[in-house]
Amino acid sequence: MCGIVGIFGIKDKSVASQLVQKMNDAISHRGPDDQGVYADDTIALGHRRLAILDLSPAGHQPMHSADDNLEIVFNGEIYNFLEIREKITGYPFKTRSDKEVILAAYQKWGKECVHQFNGMFAFAIWDKTKKQLFIARDRLGIKPVYYFRNGNEFYFASEIRALLASGRLPRKINKNALGDYFMYQTVHAPATIIENVFMLMPGHCIIADDTQFKIEKYWDIIGNKSRASEGKNYAQVCKDVQQLFEAAVKRRLISDVPFGAFLSGGIDSSAVVGLMSKVQQQPVKTFNISFDESEFSEAKYARIISEKFHTDHKELKLTPADFLKQLPDALKALDHPSGDGPNSYIVSKITRENGITMALSGLGGDELFAGYPVFNRSLDFQNKKWIWQLPMFLRKTAGSLAALVKPGIIGEKYKQLMELPSAAVKDTFPVSRQISLPESIQRLLNVPAKEDAVASIVGNVLEGNEQLGVLSQVSAAEISTYMQNILLRDTDQMSMASALEVRVPFLDYELVEYVMGIKDEFKNPLFPKKLLVDSMGDLLPDEIVHRKKMGFTFPWQHWLKNELKEFCNERIQSLSKRNFMNGKEVIDRWNRFLQGDPGIRWPDIWICVVLENWLLENQIEN
């Protein structure tokens, strides 16, 4: 796991080298083990290394091919690199690293090499003969690539802060993305919070030279779904899922450094730990963050799994005061503002401090195996789709009554649902993911509302795929929005802030493609993630399967009014002076929250605080 940066198009080698070094220094936290720079009269590449495989100096980057024609900078892991290596005859391998296999694969297959890779990756390859740059991002978007273009110059990096460090990018906020941020607590790719900075989409690659700048898609979640489950009974499908998931876990145990697993005691992390224990001889090192308050603590469930699989378990107690103490560092670690993220920072930091450099996570299980309430709600909408055939005036009346009976965001969302054109996932899903209501955001901002990013993404993903099962449609929507733009982004930036690599076996593309093709009848969550649980056989105890779903819960409502009040007030006052904000509305929202108005929830305040704190930290202009 590492960090990559690069500049294409600056003809002065000395200038390009200096700029790349500045960019490299800005992401030193991503790679404390080594760094390197390559530059010629067209390209400059930089790399920060966190050594996981092949810890020797031979793993240094940028790395060149055996014939010295290709240079690569690579962030991530290719889990099947040994299998690919066997397919490539005649290449004089000098290391046992996956990055050299990428070079050999590119030399053999060109841009089509990405179809060979199973892993999480973001890499750039410079072809000296063709004077051509190739950049690729993994299928599910686990590893990031940000970029901007300045005339004939092209800059890319693993983090936005590296692009800003180049000094070539105006530090201006992307006002068109503000509605997206306040509605969904993030900005959805390809846009970012910075004007003219973009994120390469998952499953896409860039080809750039003096005559072209081209972005191509090589994979998408529905177009590549598998048909292998068709004609099979439930037991056969469960067996396939079990085999694919076990293979995914096993692939991710390749490491030359100490590793472990996050263990919350939920279904997903317990399944990962159970399979890790099954396929390796040494006890799995597991980590659980527990709290003094029993209502917040999942520690007892983690202990059940630890005892069942005889793991080397560490229960790390955390008080709200401990969390507050670490909050400033967590906010500084944010590379892109997000309403969620400090939790990931705390877990990663504590895990790294306990001698672990790589950890497996259960991220992706909810999205793939129908673990969120939105899956059942979407099925319910389909069963009641006759409602959307009623005249609009009746639906509007019903929606208005619901808003009166249930004041607040729930009632208002119901009102929105009643006014939608249909019960289809593409219409209903965006409403389910809203953190703030459109009307509220319009009052908050001084800039015109833009297209709903989630509605646009989901509409594009599901276009022409209406015959796909409802649950698979929701999975595609979740993975393409919330998971990629909040969960994975936060996991990457917060884990790398502590130089910790996090691997996610649920996002093995072969498993994802197979599960996306399974019919709804088999995926129906009669109890939480039934298909996954049944596929695991007797691996998971009933206490884990049928317990109440929990998560990190902190007393934010109390903190914002007490311990964090001064911190929040300073940033709210500062944000209110920004020309893109309605200052009166910002202050009014804050005062209403302090006075206990139930219509203003703590997330409504926190996303304002996080945004302004990030803008101040990064010196972003209006």
Query: Catalytic amino acids?
Result: 2
Alpha-helical regions (H) of 254-361: 267-279, 299-309, 320-333, 342-353
Query: Would you say the C-alpha torsion 574, 577, 582, 584 has a positive or negative sign?
Result: positive
Rounded to the nearest 5°, which phi and psi values hold at 476? -60, -40
Strand ranges, E, within 110-253: 119-127, 132-137, 146-150, 153-157, 198-199, 204-208, 213-217
- Quick one: DSSP state of residue 284? P
What is each CA distance from 11 to 5, 7, 40, 73, in whole angstroms? 17, 10, 8, 20
As a whole number of angstroms, the distance between CA 140 and CA 133 comes to 22
259, 358 contact by CB (below 8 A): yes
Starting at the earlier edge strand, list the strands of the sheet with 312-318: 312-318, 285-291, 259-262, 358-360, 501-503
The Cα 80–Cα 59 span in angstroms is 17
- DSSP, res 480: I
User: How many residues in the chain?
Assistant: 622
Peptide linkage before 407 cis (omega within 30 of 0): no
Look-up of token digits 């191509």: 216
User: Nearest Cα to 103, choosing from 129, 127, 86, 130?
Assistant: 127
First vs last C-alpha separation in the chain: 34
Give one DSSP letter per residue of 41-69, joined into a string: SSEEEEEEE---S--SGGG-SSEE-TTS-
